Homo-oligomer: A and B are copies of this chain.
Protein backbone atom coordinates (compact mmCIF):
# COMPACT_ATOMS: atom_id res chain seq x y z
CA UNK A 1 0.00 0.00 0.00
CA UNK A 2 1.27 3.43 -1.03
CA UNK A 3 0.54 6.75 0.60
CA UNK A 4 0.60 9.48 -2.03
CA UNK A 5 1.03 13.10 -0.99
CA UNK A 6 -0.44 15.13 -3.82
CA UNK A 7 -2.63 17.97 -4.95
CA UNK A 8 -5.64 17.00 -7.10
CA UNK A 9 -4.69 19.59 -9.75
CA UNK A 10 -0.90 19.24 -9.65
CA UNK A 11 -0.16 17.80 -13.11
CA UNK A 12 2.71 15.57 -12.01
CA UNK A 13 0.70 14.22 -9.05
CA UNK A 14 -2.05 13.30 -11.52
CA UNK A 15 0.53 11.37 -13.54
CA UNK A 16 1.50 9.31 -10.49
CA UNK A 17 -2.14 8.53 -9.60
CA UNK A 18 -2.78 7.17 -13.06
CA UNK A 19 0.55 5.28 -13.17
CA UNK A 20 -0.18 3.62 -9.81
CA UNK A 21 -3.66 2.66 -11.04
CA UNK A 22 -2.30 1.22 -14.29
CA UNK A 23 0.16 -0.92 -12.31
CA UNK A 24 -2.70 -1.97 -10.01
CA UNK A 25 -0.91 -0.64 -6.93
CA UNK A 26 -3.21 0.24 -4.04
CA UNK A 27 -2.80 3.72 -2.62
CA UNK A 28 -4.38 6.28 -0.37
CA UNK A 29 -4.25 10.00 -1.02
CA UNK A 30 -3.17 12.82 1.26
CA UNK A 31 -3.67 16.36 -0.02
CA UNK A 32 -0.61 18.53 0.63
CA UNK A 33 -0.74 22.30 0.15
CA UNK A 34 2.96 22.72 -0.48
CA UNK A 35 2.86 26.51 -0.11
CA UNK A 36 2.16 26.03 3.61
CA UNK A 37 5.70 24.65 4.06
CA UNK A 38 4.59 22.04 6.62
CA UNK A 39 7.68 20.90 8.48
CA UNK A 40 6.82 17.19 8.61
CA UNK A 41 6.39 17.29 4.84
CA UNK A 42 9.73 19.05 4.29
CA UNK A 43 11.37 16.21 6.19
CA UNK A 44 9.91 13.80 3.63
CA UNK A 45 10.94 15.92 0.67
CA UNK A 46 13.43 18.76 1.24
CA UNK A 47 12.42 20.15 -2.16
CA UNK A 48 8.98 20.81 -0.65
CA UNK A 49 7.10 19.53 -3.70
CA UNK A 50 4.45 16.96 -4.47
CA UNK A 51 4.10 14.19 -5.53
CA UNK A 52 5.75 12.13 -2.79
CA UNK A 53 4.93 8.44 -2.41
CA UNK A 54 5.71 6.08 0.45
CA UNK A 55 5.28 2.33 0.11
CA UNK A 56 4.42 0.70 3.46
CA UNK A 57 7.10 1.86 5.89
CA UNK A 58 9.65 2.60 3.19
CA UNK A 59 11.47 5.86 2.57
CA UNK A 60 9.90 8.81 0.74
CA UNK A 61 9.96 8.56 -3.04
CA UNK A 62 10.18 12.15 -4.22
CA UNK A 63 8.95 13.40 -7.57
CA UNK A 64 7.07 11.93 -10.50
CA UNK A 65 10.11 10.54 -12.35
CA UNK A 66 11.53 8.88 -9.25
CA UNK A 67 8.18 7.24 -8.49
CA UNK A 68 7.78 6.13 -12.10
CA UNK A 69 11.20 4.46 -12.16
CA UNK A 70 10.46 2.83 -8.79
CA UNK A 71 7.23 1.37 -10.18
CA UNK A 72 9.14 0.06 -13.16
CA UNK A 73 11.95 -1.34 -10.95
CA UNK A 74 9.57 -3.09 -8.55
CA UNK A 75 6.65 -4.09 -10.80
CA UNK A 76 7.73 -3.68 -14.43
CA UNK A 77 8.42 -7.30 -15.16
CA UNK A 78 5.28 -8.55 -13.39
CA UNK A 79 3.03 -6.06 -15.16
CA UNK A 80 3.19 -8.05 -18.40
CA UNK A 81 1.12 -6.41 -21.12
CA UNK A 82 0.08 -3.58 -18.76
CA UNK A 83 3.70 -2.50 -18.48
CA UNK A 84 4.22 1.16 -19.35
CA UNK A 85 7.94 0.92 -20.18
CA UNK A 86 9.34 -1.01 -23.16
CA UNK A 87 12.31 -3.39 -22.96
CA UNK A 88 14.54 -2.00 -25.67
CA UNK A 89 17.01 0.63 -24.37
CA UNK A 90 16.42 3.00 -27.29
CA UNK A 91 12.65 2.75 -26.86
CA UNK A 92 13.06 3.35 -23.12
CA UNK A 93 15.09 6.47 -23.89
CA UNK A 94 12.28 7.79 -26.09
CA UNK A 95 9.67 7.13 -23.39
CA UNK A 96 11.84 8.92 -20.86
CA UNK A 97 12.51 11.87 -23.19
CA UNK A 98 8.80 12.43 -23.66
CA UNK A 99 8.04 11.93 -19.98
CA UNK A 100 10.52 14.70 -19.25
CA UNK A 101 8.93 16.78 -21.97
CA UNK A 102 5.47 16.62 -20.40
CA UNK A 103 6.45 16.34 -16.73
CA UNK A 104 8.96 19.21 -16.84
CA UNK A 105 8.93 21.31 -20.01
CA UNK A 106 5.15 21.33 -20.50
CA UNK A 107 4.70 21.97 -16.77
CA UNK A 108 7.11 24.92 -16.84
CA UNK A 109 5.60 26.42 -19.99
CA UNK A 110 1.91 25.53 -19.82
CA UNK A 111 0.27 23.44 -17.11
CA UNK A 112 2.20 24.93 -14.17
CA UNK A 113 1.32 28.55 -14.97
CA UNK A 114 -2.35 27.72 -15.70
CA UNK A 115 -2.86 25.71 -12.53
CA UNK A 116 -0.90 28.12 -10.32
CA UNK A 117 -2.64 31.20 -11.62
CA UNK A 118 -6.18 29.88 -11.86
CA UNK A 119 -6.39 27.26 -9.09
CA UNK A 120 -3.58 27.39 -6.52
CA UNK A 121 -3.82 31.16 -6.10
CA UNK A 122 -7.44 30.71 -4.98
CA UNK A 123 -6.34 28.39 -2.20
CA UNK A 124 -3.23 30.30 -1.11
CA UNK A 125 -3.38 32.95 1.57
CA UNK A 126 -2.36 36.38 0.29
CA UNK A 127 0.96 36.19 2.17
CA UNK A 128 1.91 32.98 0.36
CA UNK A 129 1.23 34.41 -3.10
CA UNK A 130 -2.57 34.04 -3.33
CA UNK A 131 -4.76 36.49 -5.23
CA UNK A 132 -5.87 37.27 -8.75
CA UNK A 133 -4.28 35.47 -11.70
CA UNK A 134 -1.53 37.26 -13.59
CA UNK A 135 -2.86 37.88 -17.08
CA UNK A 136 0.57 38.15 -18.75
CA UNK A 137 1.47 34.72 -17.43
CA UNK A 138 -1.81 33.26 -18.73
CA UNK A 139 -1.27 34.83 -22.15
CA UNK A 140 2.17 33.25 -22.43
CA UNK A 141 0.83 29.88 -21.31
CA UNK A 142 -1.93 30.05 -23.96
CA UNK A 143 0.60 30.74 -26.70
CA UNK A 144 2.83 27.90 -25.49
CA UNK A 145 -0.18 25.57 -25.30
CA UNK A 146 -0.74 25.82 -29.05
CA UNK A 147 2.86 24.85 -29.83
CA UNK A 148 2.72 21.88 -27.50
CA UNK A 149 -0.63 20.70 -28.90
CA UNK A 150 0.82 20.79 -32.39
CA UNK A 151 3.85 18.75 -31.31
CA UNK A 152 1.60 16.23 -29.57
CA UNK A 153 -0.59 16.00 -32.68
CA UNK A 154 2.51 15.39 -34.79
CA UNK A 155 3.70 12.59 -32.49
CA UNK A 156 0.38 10.73 -32.39
CA UNK A 157 -0.14 10.96 -36.11
CA UNK A 158 3.32 9.54 -36.86
CA UNK A 159 2.95 6.73 -34.29
CA UNK A 160 0.14 4.77 -32.60
CA UNK A 161 1.02 6.23 -29.23
CA UNK A 162 3.21 9.12 -28.15
CA UNK A 163 6.51 7.29 -27.83
CA UNK A 164 5.97 4.36 -30.20
CA UNK A 165 3.64 1.51 -31.07
CA UNK A 166 2.67 0.74 -27.47
CA UNK A 167 1.07 2.86 -24.79
CA UNK A 168 3.70 3.98 -22.27
CA UNK A 169 4.39 6.26 -19.34
CA UNK A 170 4.81 9.04 -21.92
CA UNK A 171 1.11 8.83 -22.82
CA UNK A 172 0.19 8.96 -19.14
CA UNK A 173 2.46 11.97 -18.60
CA UNK A 174 1.01 13.89 -21.54
CA UNK A 175 -2.64 13.03 -20.90
CA UNK A 176 -2.55 13.79 -17.18
CA UNK A 177 -0.77 17.10 -17.75
CA UNK A 178 -3.36 18.03 -20.35
CA UNK A 179 -6.24 16.99 -18.11
CA UNK A 180 -5.46 19.71 -15.57
CA UNK A 181 -5.38 22.31 -18.35
CA UNK A 182 -8.50 20.85 -19.93
CA UNK A 183 -10.47 21.29 -16.70
CA UNK A 184 -9.85 25.01 -17.17
CA UNK A 185 -11.04 24.88 -20.79
CA UNK A 186 -7.58 25.97 -21.98
CA UNK A 187 -6.85 23.24 -24.54
CA UNK A 188 -7.84 24.35 -28.07
CA UNK A 189 -8.79 20.83 -29.19
CA UNK A 190 -10.38 22.04 -32.42
CA UNK A 191 -6.89 22.93 -33.65
CA UNK A 192 -5.69 19.32 -33.73
CA UNK A 193 -7.89 16.35 -34.54
CA UNK A 194 -5.14 13.76 -34.04
CA UNK A 195 -4.33 15.01 -30.54
CA UNK A 196 -8.03 15.11 -29.70
CA UNK A 197 -8.66 11.53 -30.85
CA UNK A 198 -5.67 10.30 -28.83
CA UNK A 199 -6.89 12.16 -25.73
CA UNK A 200 -10.37 10.63 -26.09
CA UNK A 201 -8.70 7.19 -26.01
CA UNK A 202 -6.68 8.15 -22.93
CA UNK A 203 -9.50 9.64 -20.91
CA UNK A 204 -11.69 6.58 -21.34
CA UNK A 205 -9.18 4.38 -19.51
CA UNK A 206 -10.44 3.29 -16.07
CA UNK A 207 -7.25 4.68 -14.46
CA UNK A 208 -8.31 8.14 -15.59
CA UNK A 209 -11.81 8.15 -14.09
CA UNK A 210 -10.89 9.51 -10.63
CA UNK A 211 -9.23 12.57 -12.22
CA UNK A 212 -12.39 13.37 -14.14
CA UNK A 213 -14.38 13.38 -10.91
CA UNK A 214 -12.21 16.07 -9.29
CA UNK A 215 -13.43 19.63 -9.01
CA UNK A 216 -12.26 22.95 -7.59
CA UNK A 217 -14.53 25.16 -5.54
CA UNK A 218 -15.03 28.41 -7.43
CA UNK A 219 -13.80 27.15 -10.81
CA UNK A 220 -16.32 25.32 -12.93
CA UNK A 221 -14.95 22.51 -15.14
CA UNK A 222 -15.08 23.01 -18.91
CA UNK A 223 -18.35 21.42 -20.11
CA UNK A 224 -16.57 18.64 -22.01
CA UNK A 225 -14.07 17.90 -19.17
CA UNK A 226 -15.53 14.57 -18.00
CA UNK A 227 -17.21 13.74 -21.30
CA UNK A 228 -15.52 10.68 -22.81
CA UNK A 229 -16.91 11.40 -26.26
CA UNK A 230 -16.16 15.11 -26.54
* Cβ contact within 8 Å between A100 and B69: no
Q: Does A65 contact B (CB under 8 A)?
A: yes
Task: Give chain B nearest CB distance to A195 CB in angstroms.
Answer: 16
Task: Give chain B nearest CB distance to A158 CB in angstroms.
Answer: 13
Q: How far is the CA of A223 from the CA of B213 in the complex (A)?
A: 60
Binds B, one of A24-32, A85-93, A124-132: A85-93
Task: Give chain B nearest CB distance to A19 CB in angstroms.
Answer: 14
- Interface residues as binary, A66-103 with B (CB distance below 8 Å gives 1, 0 otherwise): 11011001100000000000000110111011001100
Q: Does A58 contact B (CB under 8 A)?
A: yes
For A73, the chain B residues whose CB sits under 8 A away are 89, 92
* Cβ contact within 8 Å between B97 and A70: no
For A105, the chain B residues whose CB sits under 8 A away are 47
Q: Does A206 contact B (CB under 8 A)?
A: no
* Cβ contact within 8 Å between A66 and B104: no
CB closest chain-B residue, reference A108: B108
For A94, the chain B residues whose CB sits under 8 A away are 59
* Cβ contact within 8 Å between B100 and A65: yes
* One of B63, B92, B101, B151 near A100 (C-beta < 8 A): B63
Q: How far is the CA of A92 from the CA of B46 in the complex (A)?
A: 18
Q: Does A61 contact B (CB under 8 A)?
A: yes
* Cβ contact within 8 Å between B93 and A59: yes
Q: Does A119 contact B (CB under 8 A)?
A: no
* Cβ contact within 8 Å between A58 and B90: yes
Chain A residues with a Cβ under 8 A of chain B: 46-47, 58-59, 61-63, 65-67, 69-70, 73-74, 89-90, 92-94, 96-97, 100-101, 104-105, 151
Given A69-B69, A69-B96, A70-B93, 13 further pairs, Cβ under 8 A: A47-B101, A58-B90, A61-B93, A62-B93, A62-B97, A63-B100, A65-B96, A65-B100, A66-B97, A67-B93, A70-B92, A73-B89, A104-B104
